[in-house]
Amino acid sequence: MSLIESYDESKEIVKPEIFVGNAKKLPAIAIVCFKKELIDEIEQRDDFEEYSYINVCGDIIKIYKTAIDRKEVILYKTLMGGSAAVSMMEEMRCRGVEKFIFFGSCGQLTADLKKEAFIIPTKAYRDEGTSYHYIPLSDFVDIETYKKLVTIFDKNNIKYELTRTWTTDAVYKETEKKAENRINLGCKVVEMECASIMAVAKSRKIEVYQFLYIDDTLDGGIWDLRTLKEDRTDILEQCLEIALNIAKEI
pLDDT in tens, 74-130: 999 999 999 999 999 999 999 999 999 999 999 999 999 987 899 999 999 999 999
Residues 210 and 162: beta-carbon distance below 8 Å? no
Q: Is the pLDDT of residue 1 over 70?
A: no
Rounded CA gap, 194 and 1, in Å? 25
pLDDT tens for each residue of 219-238: 878 888 877 777 788 999 99
The helices-and-strands tally (H runs, E runs) of the chain is 7, 10
Checking if the pLDDT of 63 tops 90, the result is yes
Q: What is the pLDDT of residue 142?
A: 98
Q: Is the pLDDT of residue 3 over 80?
A: no
Model confidence at 148: pLDDT above 80:
yes
C-alpha 225/C-alpha 238 separation (Å) is 21
What contacts 236, CB < 8 A, 6 or more positions away? 33, 35, 37, 38, 41
Tell whether the model's pLDDT for residue 193 goes beyond 70. Answer: yes
Backbone dihedral angles phi then psi of residue 135, each to the nearest 5 degrees: -135, 160
Contacts of 160 (CB under 8 A, 6+ apart): 117, 118, 119, 120, 149, 150, 153, 211
Tell me the C-alpha distance between 69 and 181, whole Å: 44
CATH 3.40.50.1580 fits 16-249, yes or no: yes
In the predicted structure, residue 61 carries a pLDDT above the cut 90? yes
Mean pLDDT of 40-47: 94
Domain boundaries, the chain: 16-249
Give the integer Cα–Cα distance in Å for 168 and 227.
Answer: 20
Q: Say if residue 153's pLDDT is above 80.
A: yes
